[in-house]
Amino acid sequence: MRKFISILLIIFIFGYVLRILFLPQNALTFGYDQARDAVHALQIARGDIQILGPSSSTPGLYHGVLYFYVLAPAYLIGSGSPIVAAYWIAFINALTIFTVGILAYLFTKNKHASYFSAFLYAISFEATQYATWLSNPTLGMFTVPLMYLGLWMWITKRAKKYAPIIAAIGLGTSIQAEIFLAYHAAPLALWLWLSRKNITKRQCIVFVLTLIASLSTMILSEVKFGFKGIGGISSLLNSGDALVAAKGFGDFVLLFLNQLGRVYSMASYPGNVGYGAAIVIICMVVAARQWKKGELNWQPFIVTWLLSHITVTTLGGTSTPFLLVGISPAVSLLLGILCSQLWKQNRVLSIVFIAILVFGNMSAIFKENPRGSTIFSIQKDMLLSNQLPAIEYMYTQAQEKPFSINSLTSPLWVNIVWSYLFEWYGNNQYGYVPGWHGRGQEGQVTALPVAKHPTRYLIIEPMAGIPFRYLDDTLGEENVSSHVVSEKNFGEIRIQSRLQL
């Protein structure tokens, strides 16, 4: 057992290093969501108790506040540094290597299957993208596999006292991380029903009580804010979204297949969606053929995990890749177990197969990860590696004298990203923050002081997601009271140096 844990620990260290490899170069996506969450995390770290989490894409529905509390220690220790927070989140992400390794061993009683599975998750391109993505769904990469670990232990009568607790904590914290991850309750309920002979009433009571406890902050926020979530759920169930209501059955089938194909490829062979998805689907077929009907085997268990997203396809929002967070560890398990089986039959072929997977994932990691979380971000160049030099440029150009800024942002007219960066980085480095001369920032969780100075800067964020007509409007408003002296680009971020007319 000591050797088993030691090998998993080595894989964990390798996986963690792979996840943080480009953080020293500030290769970290930092947009609106990240700045908002950083503010809330710092408020909590300084003693402001909160129960309301980030808003979801559905009006009235909010994710859990757990993510803010997870971030709080890192932001406190790092004095507001998003880089320190990213190191912390990457560590939590890498812990899933142990969960995957343990699950593989429980499935097969084969240590090689455990090593292969853990290693494939360690090098998973999708997992490394989630690892430094400072957004609430990223917790699902740890919590979803935790739920399936507890569920498998429960239905196979292992750790009878603790299995229902682990399953409940996994499900509850998954819902806290991303409210739509509640769809994992469907495979959980299915397996509890199929294994009902192994389930006791006491275990069910413990499970329900633990689940309620893990969701307590979400329940409290519903009570405090007038049960707005009920309206959001009603809207979803009744196709309140116009785009969802306009779709036909065939649209949902294609959407489901495309979404699964994407996550399968990102966790297996990200260089080609078709090849990657085909690899996983073929492996699913091979695993299904191994299943001995009438027995409780790992094959159907993993398949239900891999297909669990089907229960929410018609509710909308499935164009967002993070709705399937937590499914890629099942891909690593499937591929790892089959690799171990192939190893026994033909080691050369097994080595070739693993080499292909390693090549595909490592190529994607070294190509994409230096540019942040590219599979999630809309504004690709909203990176600290661009933002911090831009801030230094403005202070240097202003000769460290007072200046004011305006910005064109996504979301429109919300300056929270730059307010946070000037407060954290600019103020620490230069001892003051600039004034703000743009549109009103009332209601924002953080804002720069309103002030106009002769030296001004206009920050134009990457235009992805910003209608171009607003660029003309913003430039027109600025041209009324100032003129352009110079302009410099930091990636796709444009900084216009201006003087008051």
Tens-binned pLDDT, residue by residue, of the chain (501 aa):
889 999 999 999 999 999 999 999 999 999 999 999 999 999 999 999 999 988 877 777 888 999 999 999 999 999 999 999 999 999 999 999 999 999 999 999 999 999 999 999 999 999 999 999 999 999 999 999 999 999 999 999 888 789 999 999 999 999 999 998 999 999 999 999 999 988 999 999 999 999 999 999 999 998 888 777 676 666 666 654 555 555 666 766 777 778 888 889 999 999 888 899 999 999 999 988 888 776 788 999 999 999 998 887 766 544 567 788 999 999 999 999 999 999 999 999 999 999 999 999 999 999 999 999 999 888 999 999 999 999 999 999 999 899 999 999 999 999 999 999 999 999 999 999 999 999 999 888 999 999 989 999 999 999 998 999 999 999 999 999 999 999 999 999 999 999 998
Q: Are residue 194 and residue 102 in the same domain, yes or no?
A: yes
What length does the chain have?
501
Same domain, 265 and 391: no
- CB-based contact 20:368 (threshold 8 Å): no
- Out of 339, 371, 403, a domain closes at 371
Tell whether 116 and 138 lie within a shared domain.
yes
pLDDT of 317 reads 47
Same domain? 241 vs 94: yes
Q: Are residues 286 and 343 in the same domain?
A: yes
pLDDT of residue 225: 80
Write b or e for each residue in 174-192: b if 16 or more Cβ atoms lie within 10 A of its Cβ, otherwise e: bbbbbbbbbbbbebbeebb
Count how many domains the chain has.
2
Q: Is residue 378 part of a domain?
A: no
Q: Is residue 297 part of a domain?
A: yes
Q: Which long-range contacts (CB under 8 A, 24 or more apart) does 226-231 make?
A: 228/60, 228/61, 229/60, 229/61, 229/62, 230/60, 231/59, 231/60
Q: What's the confidence (pLDDT) of residue 159?
A: 81
493-500 and 482-490 beta bridge pairing? antiparallel
Asked if residue 142 is part of any domain, the answer here is yes
Residue 412 lies in a domain: yes
Residue 458: enclosing H or E segment and its boundaries?
A: strand 455-460
Claim to verify: residue 301 and residue 398 sit in the same structural domain: no
- Residue 293's contacts (CB-CB under 8 Å, 6 or more residues apart) are none
HSE of 91, CA atoms in CB hemisphere, 13 A:
9
Phi, psi for 494 (deg, rounded to 5): -105, 135
Confirm whether 357 is domain-assigned: yes
* Residue where one domain finishes, among candidates 371, 392, 420: 371
Are 33 and 153 part of one and the same domain? yes
> CB neighbours (10 Å) of residue 387?
25
- 379 domain residue, yes or no: no
Same domain flag for 391 and 478 = yes
Same domain (yes/no): 350, 479: no
Coil, helix or strand at residue 425: helix
End-to-end CA distance of the chain: 74
Domain of residue 303, residue span: 2-371
Are residues 289 and 158 part of one domain?
A: yes
Question: Given 371, 403, 422, which residue is the final one in a domain?
Answer: 371
Cβ count within 10 A of residue 110? 17
How high is the pLDDT of residue 379? 93
State residue 14's pLDDT score. 98
> Is residue 376 assigned to a domain?
no
DSSP assigned state of 321:
G
Same domain? For 303 and 422 the reply is no
User: What is 353-390 written as a DSSP string?
Assistant: HHHHHHHHHHHHHHHHGGG-STTT-SSTT-BHHHHHHH
319 with 411, same domain: the answer is no
